[in-house]
Amino acid sequence: MLTDDMLVACYSKGENKAFDELLARYQSKLFNYIYFIVRNQEMAEDLFQETFVKAITTIQQGRYTASGKFGAWLTRIAHNMIIDGFRQERNENTVSNDDYEVDLFNDAELCDDNIEMQMMNEQTLTDVRRLVDALPDNQREVVYMRFYQDLSFKEIADITGVSINTALGRMRYALLNMRRIAEEKHIVLEMY
């Protein structure tokens, strides 16, 4: 059984079977590492091949320095190839606004969310928090547990020590009070 570094030395002298042995040792582990990160079979296969091509080239050029950590060296090459792949993919998906007559980046109808909508949504959430804070304690508690902690009315009833009907009633009165307060303070709640 030859060590990895011994196999690399044999391969650099032209013994192709030495490389076959290295491939057999690291093929599964390296491919699984790549696939775990990229989560795409085809991309993982391409990166796996590119990793071994890079390793072969480096060994044949005599630039590999034996350190007893061939597997770690291969993994580092794969890691760098993955990063390069993600960078290339990101650059390929970049859209230039210069290519279009319409301003794609500042058209609210073409955007999922723009800064104005984000600000309006934040204001709405702030208004809702103020309305909730203005409620009596027992109503505020039910609203908080239902909408912020996502608890069922049964869970709320158990925690607060009241019946489900009481918990439902408190929620109903809380919503009515929030509407009344919003109308009195001229607060319009709209999410975009």
Domains of the chain, residue spans: 4-92, 105-184
For 23, which DSSP code?
Answer: H
H helices present in the chain, as ranges: 4-12, 16-38, 41-60, 70-92, 115-133, 137-143, 153-160, 164-184
The reported pLDDT for the residue numbered 172 is 92
Region 85-111: what's the mean pLDDT? 64
Residues, the chain: 192
Average predicted confidence (pLDDT) for the chain = 84
- C-alpha torsion angle, residues 82, 87, 90, 95 (rounded to 10): -160
How far is the C-alpha of 160 from the C-alpha of 142, rounded, in Å?
9
Residue 115 has pLDDT above 90, yes or no: no
Tokens of 136: 């009596």
Which CATH number is correct for 4-92, 1.10.3720.10, 3.50.50.60, 1.10.1740.10, 2.40.50.1070?
1.10.1740.10
- 52 pLDDT exceeds 80? yes
pLDDT of residue 190: 66
Contact 34, 82 (CB under 8 A): yes
Report residue 150's pLDDT band, with 50, 70 and 90 as the boundaries. confident
Q: What is the mean pLDDT of residues 10-25?
A: 94
Given a cut of 70, whether residue 104 has pLDDT beyond it is: no
Are the C-beta atoms of 26 and 71 separated by less than 8 Å?
Answer: yes
Top CATH class, 105-184: mainly alpha
For the stretch 127-147, pLDDT in tens is 888 888 888 988 888 888 888
Q: What does the CA dihedral 131, 132, 134, 135 come to, rounded to 10 degrees?
A: 130
Per the model's pLDDT, the better-predicted residue between 176 and 66 turns out to be 176
pLDDT interval class at 78 (50, 70, 90):
very high
Is the overall model pTM greater than 0.75, yes or no? no
